Structure 1
Amino acid sequence: MDVLNDILDTLNLRGVLYFRTDFSSPWSVTVPDLSQAARFHLVVQGHCHVQFPDGEAVDLGPGDLVLIPRGRSHVLADAACAAAPELETVLKAVGYKGDGVLVVGEGDPNATTQMVCGHYTFRNGADHPILRALPDHLVTSASVRAREPWLDEMLRLVVRRVFSDEMGSTAAVTRLSEIVFIELLRVGIGQSQELQAILSAFRDKQIGRALQLIHARPADPWTVESLASEVGMSRSRFAERFSEMMGTGPMAYLADWRLQKALSLLDDQHCSVQQVAIQTGYQSPAAFSRAFSGKFGLAPTEYRRNAA
C-alpha cells in the first residue's frame, strides 16, 4: 500500500486557491494565521519579500515558491518594511470580492508582482510526524525547479490554468496543487533532517514494511514483538530503528494513527461510534471514547456533532 497516500487521504489534504495578485510598488500586506493549513505563494512575475514574526525573511523572484506548513502569520511586500496592513483591510480597500485578480496599486503594468496564492487545509485535529517534521517555511527556488522536472511541470500547469480564466480552471488548479504538495515534501528533504528520516522510513525495507502493515491493518492487535517478527528484526532493534526514523515509537505511532483514522471515520455519518471503535482496534466503545477524549479534548459524539 502507498503509505503517504493513505496519510494524506486520512488527514484530508485539500488544495484551495484564494487569489492571484497584481501588485504595484509600493505594496505590503500582513497575512494572518490560519490553523490546520499550509499556505503557499508562487511568484510568477516580479519580486516578493516574505517576513516572519521571528525576524527571519526570504526573498522570492520569478518561479520561486514558499510553503508555510503551519499557516503562521507573515508579511508579503515589495521590500522589507516595519509594518503592513492586514489582508482583510487590503481586500476591503480595493473592493476585492474573491473573484479574478487581486489588483493593488496603479504602477507600471510591466513592473508589477504577480503571484498565485493558496493554501492546503487538513481535517481539524489532523496530526502526523510528517507534518511535525516540516520546517517553518520551505522555499523552492527556480534553480531547484530546474533539477526537478516533474515539480517544475506541475507548477507551470498551475500558472497556465490560473491565468487562463477558462471554465474549470479553479477546480483544476486545486487538484494540481495537491500533487504539488506531495512533490514539495520530496523536494524539501534537504531542508529538514526529520523529514528526510521519515521519508526514508517509507522506503526502508523493514521499517517501511512495518508502516505498511500498520496502515493496511490498523485494527490488528499489533505489538512491538509482532511487528518486529513480521519484518524479520529483533524487538529491541526494531523499536530503536523505528523511533530513530519516525521520531516516535511504534506503539505510540500506532495509537496516534488509530485516532487519526477515527477522525476520518467519524466524518462518515453512516458509521456508528461502535463501528469506528472496532475498525480502529479498540476493545470497546468506552475504551475508544477515553482515548479519543484524551487526545482531542472532546468525546467522539461531540466531535461528530461539531463537524456536522
Structure 2
Amino acid sequence: MDVLSDILRSVHIQGSLYFRTAFNAPWGVSVPRYSNVSRYHLVTRGSCWATVEGHDEKIKLEKGDLIFVTNGASHDLFCGASDPPFLPVDAVVQESGFDGTGALVWGGDKDGETTALVCGHFEFDHERGKMLLSELPPYIHIPNTEIMHYKWLEEAMRFITHEAFEREPGSEAVINRLAEIIFIQSIRTYAKRSSDASRLFSALRDEQLGRVFEAIHEAPEENWTVESMAKAGGMSRTAISQRMNEVLSVTPMAYLTQWRMELAHEALLSTREGIPEIAESVGYQSLSAFTRAFKKHFGRGPGEVRRKGPAG
C-alpha cells in the first residue's frame, strides 16, 4: 500500500492558468490572500524575488524555478530595485491593458531586465484532503537544479512553457492538467526533504509508524484498536501512542478516525452507495455513531454533504 498516493487521491484540485507575463524591471506585484487556493509561478526567463505572508525570507527565483504558495497566502513578486513600486495584481492587469490573450507586459524601464513567468492557481474543496492540505508548508520552492533531477518533470516544465507561449487550441486544458501533475510531484519532492518535511510526511518515513499507516489504509474497515495498530507496527501500546503524539500530535485512534472520515466524504460525493453502507465500509456498525463522528469532523452531517455536494 502506497500511503502517500492514497492520501494524495483524497485531494481534489482544479487547475486554472492565469497568464504568462513579461515584467520589465523595476516592478512589484502583490497577490492577495484567497481561501482554498494554491498559486504557482514558473520562471521562464530572467529572475525575480518572492516573499510570502508571515515569512521574512526573500526567495530568489531563477529561470526554471517553480514556487507554489500552497495555502492561498498573500505574497509579493518583485525585481529590479530595493524598494520597487508594488501594485495589486488586479491593478496590474488593468493598468497593462491585458485582455486575456498573449503576455501581460508591465513594469518600469522598457530596457530593464525582463522576467517572464507562467502563473496559475488551483482551487481546492477544503473538506476533501484536509489531512494533507493542513500539513503543507506555506510555500514549496523547487529550484531548477532540483527539477533537473527528475527528467520527466523537467520535460513537463518545458512543455508547459511551450504551451503557454504558443497558445494553440486546447493549450489551456493541457497546461492545467500538467500543472496538477506537477503540483502532486512538488508535494512528493517536498515529502522527501528530510530537513523541512512537516509532521505527516515525517511520520510516513518512520519505519514502524509507516507499517501502521499501511495497515490502516489497507483495511480501514477493520475493528482497529490501539493494541492491534501497535502490533501492526511491531510496537507496544505505550510506544505507538507516544510516537504518534510526538510526530503527529494525535492519538492512534484520532488518526484512524480522520482517515475514515476522509474516505467516507469521498464516497458520499463520488458513489451512489447508501450512507449505512458507507458507514460500514469505513468501520462503523452504528449509523448514529458514524453520523456523530462525521459531523464532528466536517461540521455538517453526511446527508447534507450528499445533498449539497462539496463545500463552497
Structure-1-length-normalised TM-score: 0.84
Query: In the alignment, residue 4 of structure 1 is paired with which amino acid?
Result: L
For structure 1, list consecutive stretches of 5 or more residues without a partner in the other structure: none
Whether the aligned pair in 1 keeps the contact of 2:27 and 2:84 (CA below 8 Å) is no
Contact 1:50 1:74 in 2 (8 A): yes
State the one-letter code of the partner of 2:275.
V
Deviations 1:49-81 (A, max 9, x none): 223344443232211222211110112222454
In the aligned structure 1, how far is the partner of 2:94 from the partner of 2:269?
A: 35
Task: Report the 3-state secondary structure (helix = DSSP H, G, I; strand = E; otherwise coil) of the residue aligned with 2:216.
Answer: helix
Which of 180, 183, 188 is the equivalent residue of 1:181? 183
Shift of 1:164: 3.1
Question: Is 1:45 aligned to 2:45, yes or no?
Answer: yes
Distance 2:124 2:304 in 1: 19
Q: Which runs of structure 2 are paired with 1:226-305 in the superposition (5 Å)?
A: 226-268=228-270, 270-305=272-307
Match of 2:309 in 1: 307
Query: Alpha-carbon deviation of 1:226?
Result: 1.2
Aligned to 1:8: 8
- Overall identity of the aligned pairs, in %: 38
Mapped to 2, the partners of 1:83 and 1:288 lie a distance apart of 54
Cα distance per residue 1:239-267 (max 9 Å; x no partner): 33344444433211111111112221222
RMSD: 2.9
Q: Which position in structure 2 is the counterpart of 1:86?
A: 88
Matches within 5 A, 1:163-182: 163-182=165-184
Return the letter of the residue paired with 2:213: L
Contact 1:22 1:104 in 2 (8 A): yes
SS in structure 2 at match of 1:115: strand
Post-superposition Cα deviations, 1:203-253, rounded to whole Å, max 9, x if no partner, equal 554322321222232222211111222343322223333444444332111
1:76 match: 77
Q: Is the 8 A contact 1:133 1:192 kept in 2?
A: no
For structure 1, which segment, 83-92 or 289-298, has the greater mean C-alpha deviation from structure 2 after superposition? 83-92
- Tell me the distance in 2 between the aligned counterparts of 1:306 and 1:80: 49
Give the 3-state SS of the residue equivalent to 2:221 in structure 1. Answer: coil
| Distance in structure 2 (CA, Å) of the matches to 1:4 and 1:27 | 39
Q: What does residue range 139-154 of structure 1 map to in structure 2 within 5 Å?
A: 139-154=141-156
CA contact (8 A) 1:11 1:264 kept: no
Counterpart of 2:294 in structure 1: which amino acid? F
Q: Aligned pair in 2 of structure 1 residues 246, 85: CA closer, same or farther (>3 Å)?
A: same
Question: Which deviates the most, 132-141 or 249-258?
Answer: 132-141
Cα 1:207–1:284, aligned 2, differ >3 Å: closer, same or farther? Answer: same
Report if aligned partners of 1:129, 1:247 keep a CA contact under 8 Å in 2.
no
Please tell me whether residue 126 in structure 1 is matched to residue 128 in structure 2: yes
Q: Indicate the residue corresponding to 2:201 in structure 1.
A: 199
Aligned equivalents of 2:161, 2:20: Cα separation in 1: 10
Partner of 2:59: 58
Shift of 1:40: 1.4
| Structure 1 letter corresponding to 2:75 | H
Q: Which amino acid aligns with 1:140?
A: I
Where 2:154 maps in the other structure, the secondary structure is: helix
User: Closer, same or farther in 2 for the Cα pair 1:99/1:260, shift >3 Å?
Assistant: farther
Q: 1:282 to 1:96 in 2, by over 3 A?
A: farther
- Partner of 1:222: helix, strand, or coil? coil
Q: Which amino acid aligns with 2:142?
A: T
| Code of the aligned partner of 2:260 | R
TM-score by length of 2: 0.83
CA distance in 2, matches of 1:273, 1:92: 49
Structure 2 residues not aligned, in runs of 5+: none
Q: How many corresponding residue pairs?
A: 307
Letter of the aligned partner of 2:15 in structure 1?
A: G
Q: Given the superposition, is the C-alpha separation of residues 80 and 183 from structure 1 closer, same or farther in structure 2, using an over 3 Å criterion?
A: farther
